[in-house]
Structure 1
Amino acid sequence: MTVLAAGLALLGSLFFALGAALQQFEAASTPRAGLGHLVRRPRWLLGGLSIAGGTALHIVALRYGPLTLVQPMGVASLLFALPCAAALRRRRPRPGELASAAVIAIGLIGLVMVVPEHSGEPHLSTGEAVTLLAGAATAALVLWLLSRQVSPAARACLLAMGAGVLYGATATLTRVLVDGNWEFWFLLAVPMPALLALVLLQRAYAVGHFGVAFAALQVADPLTAVAFGALLLGEPLPTGAASTLIALAAAALTAAGTVALARTTPMSPSHDVIAR
């Protein structure tokens, strides 16, 4: 069952990476990156279906294997995404891109591995749910405002980080819906941060720096979910000297890899007007 879970998680990562590459290709290739325009493009919709398939496979993998095994496998999407995006543009991924992505993947795996498992039933009060949504929206707004004043690579990173924060909030709400006690309006609230995240992510993709945008998303999403889980759901954080050192080293690797990836050549020309 463990091997099956690992295989499903890896296959899900491949589908997720392919979908992200397809959506970035469309977002960066059109003068209009709004959702209303993109949803009419077949290749962008195919990317959405691929992402949905990858997500479904990841959920099924969690039924057959522990979170500590399945979650690190999801990081492989970062390594799959760059070759997929390069193939769409009919070029080979550069060694520097793959090396930077590998460093980020190792860092993310290290971070995931030191997060303790939590078997308690998650619960959010109405006030905590409002705090969750307001906090994520505020952070995403600040990142969006900052993105308007920086270089294209930094803009792609900040916009994708904003999307990651909103997806992290969505994941937190979803965890409560699946495993805990919740109120009916939570079900109505879940699509809001997810939709805003999708808009920000397409703007990040439109800038052209796919590698750094996808990496920033992969970093911000799980870290935000872990932070919200600890602050609002009472889930544990790493404790002890060894876990703390591993977490710090993993965070340093992740940051270094992201910075290195931001310095690589963009996948497509930057559309400053779109990104704004």
Structure 2
Amino acid sequence: MTVLAAVIALVGSLFFALGAALQQFEAVGSAKPGLLALLRRPRWLIGGASILAGGGLHIVALGLGPLTVVQPMGVASLLFALPIAATLHGRKPSRKELTAAGVVASGLIGLVLLVPESDGPTQLSPNGVLTLLGVAGVAAVLLWAGSKAVSPAGRAALLATSSGVLYGATATLMRVLVDGGWNWWYLLALPVPALLALMMLQRAYAVGHFGVSFASLQIADPLTAVAFGALLLGEPLPTGILPVAAALLTAVGTVALARTSPLEAHNDPA
């Protein structure tokens, strides 16, 4: 069952990568890639369906195998997404680009594996939910504001990080809803960070540095969820030198990817 879970999670990562590449291809080059405009593009909608399928397969895999096996498989979406996106833009990914992505994936897998599992139901008070949304919102706005004063690669990274922070808040709230009991007020709050994260991610994709934006999203989302879990839910954090080494490896890979990821334009291949 563990092997089956790993295979299903890997296939889910492929679907997620395909969906992200399709959505980036439709958003790239747009000055203001609004959701209403993107919703009228069939390829963007297919990308969304592919992402949902990937998420569903990931949930199935979690039901069949341990978290320590399934979660690292999700990082493979970074390595899948770069060749898919490059093909859509009519090019081949460079060796340096793939190597940098591999470094990011290795560091992120290390961080995922080192996070201790929580033992017990999670609870969050209404004040905790407001704190969660407030902190995530302020962080997202600051990252968005900072993106206006940096290079295109830095802009893609900051916008995607902003999206990842909001997705991390969404994941934390979803965890509370599933594990701690459904609450209609929390359920109404859930779409707020999720929709804002989706809008911010499309802006990141529009910049054109897909490798940078997708890697930044993959890093910011789980790290934000872990941080909120520790601060608001009392979940344990990893300790020792290994998490620091994994974080440094992830950071080095991201910087290298920012230097090697090309600025892509929306150019339909024949």
Normalising by structure 2, report the TM-score: 0.96
Q: Secondary structure at the match of 2:243?
A: helix
2: distance between equivalents of 1:134 and 1:52?
27
- The letter of the residue matching 2:124 is L
Partner of 1:260: 256
- The letter of the residue matching 1:259 is V
2: distance between equivalents of 1:189 and 1:43?
29
Q: CA shift at 1:183, angstroms?
A: 2.6
**Number of aligned positions between the proteins:** 266
Partner of 2:9: 9
Q: What is the 5 A alignment of 1:57-96?
A: 57-96=57-96
Partner of 1:201: 201
Going from structure 1 to structure 2, the CA distance change for 1:142 and 1:217 (only over 3 Å counts) comes to: same
Gaps of 5+ in 2: none
Partner of 2:132: 132
Q: Secondary structure at the match of 1:162?
A: helix
1: distance between equivalents of 2:5 and 2:122?
24
Partner of 1:251: 247
Q: Tell me the C-alpha RMSD between the 2 structures.
A: 1.2
Q: CA shift at 1:90, angstroms?
A: 1.8
1: distance between equivalents of 2:79 and 2:244?
22
- The letter of the residue matching 1:248 is V
8 Å contact from structure 1 (residues 86, 267) kept in 2:
no
1: distance between equivalents of 2:15 and 2:47?
9
Gaps of 5+ in 1: 271-276
Q: What is the 5 A alignment of 1:1-276?
A: 1-30=1-30, 32-239=32-239, 244-269=240-265
8 Å contact from structure 1 (residues 123, 182) kept in 2:
no
Q: Secondary structure at the match of 1:119?
A: coil
- The letter of the residue matching 1:106 is S
- The letter of the residue matching 1:105 is A
- The letter of the residue matching 2:87 is A
After TM superposition, which residue ranges in structure 1, 4 or more long, deviate above 4 angstroms? 29-32
- The letter of the residue matching 1:129 is V
2: distance between equivalents of 1:142 and 1:9?
34
Q: Secondary structure at the match of 1:117?
A: coil
Normalising by structure 1, report the TM-score: 0.94
Q: CA shift at 1:238, angstroms?
A: 1.3
**Could you give the per-residue CA deviations for residues 69-89 of structure 1, whole angstroms, max 9, x where no partner exists?**
111110000000000101111
1: distance between equivalents of 2:87 and 2:265?
16
Going from structure 1 to structure 2, the CA distance change for 1:154 and 1:31 (only over 3 Å counts) comes to: closer
2: distance between equivalents of 1:180 and 1:103?
36
Q: CA shift at 1:266, angstroms?
A: 2.2
1: distance between equivalents of 2:104 and 2:29?
27
2: distance between equivalents of 1:192 and 1:214?
21
2: distance between equivalents of 1:136 and 1:166?
6
**Could you give the per-residue CA deviations for residues 183-222 of structure 1, whole angstroms, max 9, x where no partner exists?**
3110011111000000000000000000000000000000
Identical columns (%):
68
